[in-house]
Amino acid sequence: MEGRIVSGFGRGARDLGIPTANLPVDDELTPWIADIKSGVYFGWASLRLPSSHPNQLATISSSTTTTTTTTTMGFGVYPMVMSIGRNNFYNNTTRSAEVHLFHKFDADFYGVEMRWTAM
């Protein structure tokens, strides 16, 4: 399953010390969210960070006599826990999908494509 990271309320990091990457709950952008039972899920998430992000994994450079090509490696994979539901802690009335990645990132990554699978 996949989606692009959107900004949330910032409460996970600020109030709880647990930053989350929020996925849009939208029938067109992320139709799979409507079919998943509310709960907390463990699994793996992957991000395709831009080359400008400080946590970008690697690049490969190759040179010929006429050109130099730099290719950014694909997705970085991280363990994650994901909450899908109404977030009772904050009395939310609409569903949300929030992913906490078990990795310390040096910068935000809004708009980045995330793919994930639950165990």
**Cα 64 to chain centroid, rounded:** 36
Catalytic residue among 2, 28, 98, 113: 98
Q: What is the CA radius of gyration of the chain?
A: 16
pLDDT of 98-117, one tens digit each? 999 998 888 888 989 999 99
- Residue 117's alpha-carbon distances to 1, 28, 44, 62, in angstroms, are 7, 20, 6, 33
Instruction: List the structure tokens of 4.
Output: 């692009």
* Domain residue extents for the chain: 2-118
Residue 72 binned pLDDT confidence (cut-offs 50, 70, 90): very low
Q: What is the mean pLDDT of residues 52-68?
A: 63
Identify the pLDDT of residue 58. 58
Mean pLDDT throughout 58-79?
61
Count the Cβ atoms, other than its own, within 10 Å of residue 108: 13
pLDDT of residue 82: 94
Instruction: Judge whether 98 counts as a catalytic residue.
Output: yes
- Residue carrying the six token digits 């109030």: 15
Specify the fold of 2-118: Elongation Factor Tu (Ef-tu); domain 3 (2.40.30)
